[in-house]
Amino acid sequence: MHLDPRGLLFLIPAALVAGLAHWWVRRVFQQAARIPSLTGATGMEAATAVLNGAQIGGVFIEDVAGQHLDHYSPAEQGLLLRPQIHDGANLLAVGIAAHEAGHAIQDADRHPLLGARTVIVLAATCGSLMGMILFAGGFLVVSPFLVYAGIGLFFVTVAAQIVNLPMEFDASRRAAPFLLAAGVITPDEVRAVRRVMRAAACANVAGTVTCIPTAYRYLARPARSARDKKLV
């Protein structure tokens, strides 16, 4: 089997970064989930404090059983949280709920990129899957067009995730001060909760970096296949 040395030069550092990013985010979340909030505040109460502190009305907070992601929906004007975040009385629930409430603040302030963020989140959710389907379909029907259409869609998804990162960090920055001001957390908990909120924003970074090794494989595999066909 032919091994492209350039692939190793690109793949190994990317894989290490991806592994470290996932390890850090997961470690922060696991540690925070085991730390009860000293005030007994739940994720729902944390989100409410952020919304009230920012004087934002008309935004509902709901626990949605069975969903895998916590998010703010501009169309519904609501925070949709997993039950363990909505009802959790630990620093993980407080940090994540507050981070999502930060997006509601962006909406109330008419942040110019919030509309684009909604499209980006949808694209990031569907783009990778559609890219893989097109890519695999191209190989099944021997269609270079479908293969490279899948590659193109995949890279557009990666670019969309990168563009979205500043919005995630901005949401955490906006929400954090209201937690302490409302007494949801104590001064001793500020550092840990801010860490959770940074990790919530960086979860997208981890996902984006993870796409890099896959993107290389997507791009290199058809190129090697074409080269191998010439050699036969």
**pLDDT value of position 23:** 86
- Return the H-helix or E-strand segment holding 61: strand 60-63
Query: Is residue 53 in a domain?
Result: yes
Residue 230 lies in a domain: no
Asked whether residue 225 is domain-assigned, the answer is no
- Is 229 inside a domain boundary? no
d(CA 22, CA 134): 27
Instruction: Say what the pLDDT of residue 163 is.
Output: 72
User: Which regions in the chain score pLDDT beneath 50?
Assistant: 1-8, 10-11, 14, 218, 221-232
Structural domain includes residue 226: no
pLDDT at 147 (0 to 100):
59
At 16 the pLDDT is 63
The two beta strands, 78-81 and 71-73, are antiparallel
> What pLDDT score does 114 carry?
72
Tell me whether residue 231 is in a domain: no
Dist CA 89 CA 75 (whole Å): 28
Euclidean distance between CA atoms 43 and 49, whole angstroms = 10
Q: Give the per-residue pLDDT at 178.
A: 97
Q: What is the pTM of this model?
A: 0.74
Measure Cα distances from 227 to 177, 205, 221, 223, 230 in Å: 57, 34, 10, 6, 5
Number of structural domains found in the chain: 1
Domain encompassing residue 127: 5-220
Q: Are 98 and 180 in contact (CB under 8 A)?
A: no
Residue where the block lists tokens 């190129």: 223
Assess if residue 227 is contained within a domain.
Answer: no
**Looking at the domain assignment, is residue 25 inside a domain?**
yes
Instruction: Give residue-wise pLDDT tens across range 112-143.
Output: 777 666 666 665 555 555 555 555 555 555 56
So what's the pLDDT on residue 218? 47
Neighbours of 146 (CB within 10 A): 18
